[in-house]
């Protein structure tokens, strides 16, 4: 009498080269001796328990397993594809492909202490995680986008920047000076404002001055007759007149 077929077979990838198998035990009138494991139709091992780890596999590959029960008399269970078969996939190989280098990097001074950076995005097979910004060979920050404002700089100074892309596996792009490097210069300290212009020049004219500080211009021919005295005033180009000479 053959044993019953194993059931609830599961196959789970646990690394890039291993799949872990487990199943519910078979029953038999004389007892189960061992289980035989087949991978893609080929026997790969036996075990006396209800679990097995299959190794030496290829990364990112799916395998089909079937588990057979063998009793102490050497009888093997009748095949049952519904219960004793499962598929499992190994982990994909670790990503080692670097992203492309950023391109069109620009560095523009926007103040005496800040330079704004921008660039075109990199591409990658698994995706770019962030960009790392270097100033004169030293890391100054990271960003998820394609813009960065670098501050705290000296006025009128030129700085060299390089932008690196880092993918989700931690791979850094291969350095490409032609595309990922730019220089930028902060604005110089502004000069002091120019001095105010000198007052406009005027022309000396005769006015008729009164004791209360008021005056007449043009002065009448008979200033004394109206209670005033002839004196000198200054006629400016805008037509205004002030007492006192120019």
The domains located in the chain, with CATH, are 7-89 (2.60.40.10), 103-185 (2.60.40.10), 203-243 (no CATH)
Q: Is the pTM of this model over 0.75?
A: no
CA distance 38 to 111: 71
Task: Give the per-residue pLDDT at 201.
Answer: 86
Task: State mean pLDDT over 172-181.
Answer: 97
HSE-CB of 232 using CA atoms within 13 angstroms: 7
CA distance 56 to 65: 15
Smallest Cα–Cα separation from 177: which of 72, 101, 239, 242? Answer: 101
Q: Is 185 exposed, middle or buried (0-12, 13-18, 19+ CB in 10 A)?
A: middle
Q: Does residue 191 register a pLDDT over 80?
A: no
Quickly state the pLDDT bin for 192 (edges 50, 70, 90).
confident
For the chain, the C-alpha Rg in angstroms (whole number) is 46
* Torsion sign (Cα): 49, 54, 60, 62: negative
Please give the DSSP secondary-structure letter assigned to residue 128: E
- pLDDT tens-place string over residues 60-96: 999 999 999 999 999 999 999 999 999 999 999 989 9
Task: Give the per-residue pLDDT at 217.
Answer: 95
Element (H, E) at 185: strand 181-185
Share of the chain above pLDDT 90, in %: 89
Task: Give the per-residue pLDDT at 59.
Answer: 95
Q: Does residue 205 register a pLDDT over 80?
A: yes
Structural contact between residues 51 and 12, judged by C-beta atoms closer than 8 angstroms: no
Q: What is the mean pLDDT of the chain?
A: 96
């Amino acid at each position: 009498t053959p044993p019953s077929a194993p059931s609830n077979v599961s196959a789970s990838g646990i690394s890039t080269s291993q799949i872990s198998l487990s199943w519910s035990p078979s029953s038999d009138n004389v007892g189960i001796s061992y289980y035989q494991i087949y991978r893609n139709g080929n026997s790969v091992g036996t075990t006396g328990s209800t679990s097995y780890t299959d190794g030496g596999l290829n990364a990112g590959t799916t395998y089909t397993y079937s588990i057979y029960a063998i009793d102490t008399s050497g009888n093997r269970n009748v095949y049952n594809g519904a219960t004793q078969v499962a598929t499992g996939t190994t982990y994909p190989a670790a990503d080692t492909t670097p992203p492309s280098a950023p391109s069109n990097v620009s560095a523009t001074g926007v103040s005496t202490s800040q330079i704004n950076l921008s660039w075109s995005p990199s591409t990658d097979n698994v995706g770019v995680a962030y960009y790392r910004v270097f100033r004169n060979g030293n890391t100054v920050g990271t960003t998820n986008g394609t813009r960065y404002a670098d501050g705290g700089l000296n006025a009128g100074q030129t700085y060299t920047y390089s932008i690196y892309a880092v993918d989700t596996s931690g791979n850094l792009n291969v350095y490409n000076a032609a595309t990922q490097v730019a220089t930028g210069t902060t604005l110089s300290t502004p000069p002091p404002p120019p001095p105010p212009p000198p007052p406009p020049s005027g022309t000396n004219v005769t006015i008729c001055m009164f004791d209360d500080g008021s005056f007449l211009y043009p002065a009448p021919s008979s200033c004394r007759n109206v209670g005033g005295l002839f004196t000198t005033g200054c006629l400016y180009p805008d037509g205004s007149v002030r007492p006192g000479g120019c």
